[in-house]
Amino acid sequence: DDERTFVMVKPDGVQRGLIGEIVSRFEERGLKLVGGKFMQIDDELAHEHYGEHADKPFFDGLVDFITSGPVFAMVWEGADATRQVRSMVGETDPAESAPGTIRGDFGLDLGRNVIHASDHEDEGANEREIDLFFDDEELLDYERID
Ligand code: CMP
């Protein structure tokens, strides 16, 4: 069934000029872009988005990094979109990500790992993250032609 999934090019991906490459990969896969926003994450949003990691030793660094420059937040729609996107993104640690995945091709560092995608094992993650970053009227529907 069609579902929507939240994805974000992180500040390192923006700085390295990877937005277009990443958007192209999802477009070519056949997923449909229904929301996109070039934005700066503030401290409050960073804490909400990464709340589940609040007790981790890397939390402060994670918040500093994600607020350090603009990100490109997106919502992609398609059959089994969350799993499709996750398999294209790779593992959290780029060193464990296969070549051909976004992190496997462009990432070197566990913290600066180019892209965020909603966790498919966390059932509420997509809805929560989409709501956090987008208003309903910012998600647009249209027919995708392949
Ligand atoms: P992301 O999928 O955006 O969600 C949480 C992020 O925390 C993750 O990507 C990594 O970038 C980061 N992260 C996870 N583990 C570590 C770690 N051990 N050290 C630094 N950053 C980490």
Average pLDDT, the chain: 96
From the number of C-beta atoms within 10 Å of its C-beta (0-12, 13-18, 19+), residue 77 rates as: middle
How many percent of the chain have pLDDT more than 90? 93
For ligand 1, is residue 118 a contact (CB within 6 Å)? no
SS3 98: coil
Which ranges of 30-101 would DSSP assign to H, the alpha helix?
43-49, 59-66, 81-89
- The answer to whether the CB of 31 falls within 8 A of the CB of 84 is yes
Residue 73: band (very low, low, confident or very high) from pLDDT cuts 50, 70, 90 = very high
Kindly provide the ipTM of the predicted complex, given to two decimals: 0.92
- The pTM (predicted TM-score) of the whole model is 0.96
For ligand 1, is residue 125 a contact (CB within 6 Å)? no
- The answer to whether the CB of 10 falls within 8 A of the CB of 64 is no
Rg of the Cα atoms in the chain: 14
Nearest to 115 by CA among 52, 35, 21: 21
**62: CA distance to ligand 1 center in Å?**
7
35-64 per-position pLDDT tens digit = 999 999 999 999 999 999 999 999 999 999
What pLDDT sits at residue 122?
83
104-140 per-position pLDDT tens digit = 999 999 999 999 999 888 889 999 999 999 999 999 9
Q: How many CB atoms lie within 10 A of CB 3?
A: 16
Residue located nearest, by CA, to atom 18 of ligand 1: 58
What pLDDT sits at residue 54?
97
> Which structural domains are found in the chain, ordered by start?
2-138 (3.30.70.141)
Annotated catalytic, 116?
yes
Q: What is the mean pLDDT of residues 86-112?
A: 96
What pLDDT sits at residue 88?
98
